Homo-oligomer: A and B are copies of this chain.
């Protein structure tokens, strides 16, 4: 894509009403726009990142047998009353609205109740289990304070998978598998070395649940890390469990963390309340055992900004970058433009997504914008390139600059496909 056609513009100054690094940088770079606190529009570059994150997660969900669905935002109160999560005094994060006839509705913040209800039409026998429906969909949460940019949204994107299993053993196996899947996802988006599986309280049906916490100064949570086992305990649980749950290590290191994912054993909490049963091989009624598995793609995007961006701007891991290569044209000589077209066509033909800065701006402005946008590779084309045959290739992450001949340059870029 040509940058002269991209409708978003960068800003020199960060917006004054934002305190979080992620919102400041993403607005400055034209990736998002603020509607109100905790409510952000995604502009072309921002939506490309968010979609890349969603697609990466989708791929992993499909590998473990996930079946994608899309439940509604508008929620009827009936199933929520059965689980005692409708009353605002018990569950205080609802946005509520009304039909013309006065019927009260809620805006979905999670979907255990409607999904459990609808599956009564589809689960009858043990042969129908296990199943793993999931969705990547907008959720609403009436936060009192929303000062963390896209990390704590009143409206945000969520991937929520739910598991429905016939027995505890089958459930436990899937739950363990999902721990590995989650760590693989966080590694792919560039947070692997900073993200810890974190023990949290488990509720009625299991001793523990698990959070995935990324260490960050911007974190709203506190976690206690066992460096031997590369895991952590969260603040709530540390009161009763002040050693490593795996090795008993007493020397736990305190850090701030951002919760980028969580997985819960739900046991029969929802199948009890909403009567989701199946017949086992003896024809006996049994309650379905459930789990849920959440990752917020928008929160994850914010966390990546908090973790990887530097003083010059955004830094995107290749997997989720809006484009892989930022091709910067210097000067307006026809032969430079011709070479630019040739290189762009060749890169795109080989499957590399290119943003080409063809704007009539000074080199310094283009380089500053390039650092701010944060694409993985910057390649400069100028008269100098044409005469010397050397292409300047800069890696945004780490800042390494290489001078490469044309064939070497194409070879180098291949890694960024």
Contacts and interface: CB of A to CB of B under 8 A. Distances in A.
A6 interface: yes
User: For the complex formed by this chain, how many copies does it contain in all?
Assistant: 2
Interface in A34-91: 35-36, 39-44, 47, 50, 65, 67-76
Nearest to A107: B97
A376 B107 CA distance: 37
Contact of A122 (B7, B123, B124): B7
A388 interface: no
Contact of A35 (B5, B72, B124, B140): B72
Contacts of A7: 67, 119, 122-123, 128, 131, 133
A144 B138 CA distance: 24
A76 B122 contact: no
Contact of A69 (B43, B69, B100, B118): B43
B122 A9 contact: yes
B122 A72 contact: no
Contact of A74 (B72, B76, B119, B140): B140
A338 to B, nearest CB: 23
Nearest to A123: B7
A105 B38 CA distance: 13
Interface of A is mostly: mixed
Nearest to A145: B100
Kindly state the interface size class of chain A when it binds its partner.
35 or more
Contacts of A35: 71-72, 74-76, 114
A289 to B, nearest CB: 16
A187 to B, nearest CB: 27
B118 A33 contact: yes
Nearest to A9: B122
Contact of A138 (B75, B105, B131, B138): B138
Contacts of A75: 35
A99 interface: yes
Given A97-B97, A138-B138, A72 B41 contact: yes
A100 B8 CA distance: 32
A21 interface: no
A257 interface: no
Interface string A149-192: 00000110000000000000000000000000000000000000
A36 B155 contact: no
Contacts of A36: 74, 76, 105
A44 B71 contact: no
Contact of A144 (B100, B114, B133, B155): B100
Nearest to A119: B7
A385 interface: no
A47 B69 CA distance: 6
A100 B142 contact: yes
A387 interface: no
Contacts of A47: 68-70
A40 B122 CA distance: 16
A42 B69 contact: yes
Interface in A173-221: none
The 10 closest A-B pairs by CB, nearest first: A7-B131, A42-B70, A95-B97, A44-B67, A33-B118, A97-B97, A41-B71, A39-B74, A74-B155, A9-B122
15 contacts: A6-B67, A7-B119, A9-B122, A9-B124, A11-B121, A35-B75, A35-B114, A36-B105, A41-B70, A41-B71, A41-B114, A44-B67, A73-B140, A97-B107, A99-B142
Interface of A: 5-9, 11, 30, 33, 35-36, 39-44, 47, 50, 65, 67-76, 95-100, 105, 107, 114, 118-119, 121-124, 128, 131, 133, 138, 140, 142-144, 154-155
Given A41-B70, A44-B69, A72-B155, 8 more contacts: A7-B123, A30-B122, A33-B121, A35-B76, A42-B69, A44-B67, A47-B68, A99-B142
